[in-house]
DNA sequence: TCTTGAGCTAAAGTTAACTTGAGCAATTAC
DNA sequence: GTAATTGCTCAAGTTAACTTTAGCTCAAGA
């Protein structure tokens, strides 16, 4: 039994979440929220959609894309808004992601340290470029072929 | 005295750097390289442009935008390609930037840790949202106004 | 009832960093 | 000398996450 009074129009959702109305409409087209429609075709949101949108903004703040976020929400049974225990699962996954990004940046910084005095700035030699896994994509992508048929001097 | 033989056409630059020809042309429109033109209007690059483009790719790899990179290069006298000692200066600035990004991510992760068991997921209460300086932009931007004129229940 | 204010749709605009395509011109290879 | 390759310009397309605009409709208050 969902009384009309339980539902909120898009403007209130916008005010409660701090988002623009257009952003909320956009989230709907992206499948992140699923308002029902009034007889006249206006969107009607549940109160829990405020929490749902808060989740989206927080996850974005953590650096995740809307696609990532939709993915996480689709793992929940029947597309429900994350509960406290859902959040516990999800936030652990987010934490792991953050850890990986921090590690990656730290490795980059360390490589940069090793290069401060070097100044080789050569794509063939510099360890800053192609650190680990940029090349080897089956043969496509940037080549780093160095022979242009001329005496390879200074570069 | 710049002999024609010292100059390279765009295709060779592309092969030597691993970039697409279109990307190099794009860099020109963005003011990142400044090839001269042959009598027939074809681009002619200096050998040092290979190094210049290597610098661009490396800086991108470190996470800087083309705008940032152009900014760094414009600090150099008469728009020269970074030398070894230029690189020393620039790489220290880059290092500082990376440090700041790492710190930021670590703070975010730590805040997330404090929230794993919490699950409040409320934009008004959650320390994950609006961590430090997201609000207070002179009054514009997201409001986080919480009063919608209804008894504020569950949220 | 009449006037605002709020909502609706569909299409186009925005930024970054390029790519793709069309239609030609210049160079290089044989 | 001719074909294949490379290069040129200009315009439009791409992705993400939205915003803006235009042209209407609906709802709420005096």
- For strand D, which residues in window 115-144 of chain A come within 7 Å by CB? none
Looking at the predicted structure, is the pLDDT value of residue B111 above 50? yes
pLDDT confidence band for A81 (50 / 70 / 90)? confident
- Model pLDDT for residues B38-55, shown as the tens digit of each residue: 999 999 999 989 989 988
| Lowest-confidence pick of A141-150, B76-85, B113-122 | A141-150
CA–CA separation, A63 and A57 (whole Å): 10
Dihedral (CA of A57, A59, A61, A67) sign: negative
CA–CA separation, B21 and B15 (whole Å): 9
Cβ distance B85 to A119 less than 8 Å, yes or no, reads yes
B-contacting residues of A 63-122, CB under 8 Å? 63, 82-85, 87-88, 91-92, 94-95, 98-99, 101-102, 105-106, 108-109, 112-113, 115-119, 121-122
Instruction: Summarize the confidence of residues B60-75 as an average pLDDT.
Output: 89
Distances from the Cα of B21 to the Cα of A65, A117, B147, angstroms? 31, 31, 56
**B25 touching chain A per CB within 8 A:** no
pLDDT confidence band for A125 (50 / 70 / 90)? low
pLDDT confidence band for A126 (50 / 70 / 90)? low
Rounded to the nearest integer, the mean pLDDT of chain B is: 75
A152 exposed, middle or buried (CB, 10 Å; 0-12, 13-18, 19+)? exposed
Is strand D within 7 Å of residue B10 (CB)?
yes
Is strand C within 7 Å of residue A9 (CB)?
yes
Instruction: Summarize the confidence of residues B100-129 as an average pLDDT.
Output: 72
B148 vs chain A: nearest CA distance in angstroms?
7
Is strand C within 7 Å of residue A10 (CB)?
yes
Residue tagged 């257009």 (tokens)? A22
- Model pLDDT for residues A17-58, shown as the tens digit of each residue: 999 999 999 999 999 999 999 999 999 999 989 989 988 988
Cβ distance A105 to B101 less than 8 Å, yes or no, reads yes
Is strand D within 7 Å of residue B42 (CB)?
yes
Cβ distance B116 to A82 less than 8 Å, yes or no, reads no
The percentage of chain B sitting over the pLDDT mark of 90, rounded to a whole number, equals 33
Instruction: Summarize the confidence of residues B117-142 as an average pLDDT.
Output: 45
- Which residues, in sequence order, are bridge partners of residue B147? none
pLDDT confidence band for A117 (50 / 70 / 90)? low
Instruction: Summarize the confidence of residues A111-122 as an average pLDDT.
Output: 67
B9 exposed, middle or buried (CB, 10 Å; 0-12, 13-18, 19+)? middle
pLDDT at B132: 43
pLDDT at B89: 83
pLDDT at A143: 23
- Model pLDDT for residues B20-36, shown as the tens digit of each residue: 999 999 999 999 999 99
Kind of pairing, strands B43-44 and B36-37?
antiparallel
Chain A environment of B19 (Cβ under 8 Å): 142
């Amino acid at each position: 039994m969902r009384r009309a009074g339980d539902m909120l129009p898009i403007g209130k959702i916008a005010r409660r979440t701090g988002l623009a109305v257009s952003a909320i409409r956009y989230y709907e087209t992206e499948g992140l929220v699923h308002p029902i429609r009034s007889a006249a075709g206006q969107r009607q949101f549940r109160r829990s959609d405020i929490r749902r949108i808060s989740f989206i903004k927080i996850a974005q703040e953590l650096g995740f894309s809307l696609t990532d976020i939709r993915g996480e929400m689709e793992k929940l049974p029947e597309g429900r808004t994350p509960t406290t225990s859902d959040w516990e699962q999800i936030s652990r996954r987010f934490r792991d992601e953050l850890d990986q990004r921090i590690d990656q940046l730290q490795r980059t910084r360390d490589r940069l340290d090793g290069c401060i005095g070097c100044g080789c700035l050569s794509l063939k030699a510099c360890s800053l470029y192609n650190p680990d896994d940029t090349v080897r994509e089956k043969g496509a992508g940037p080549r780093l072929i160095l022979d242009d048929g001329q005496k390879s001097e200074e570069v």
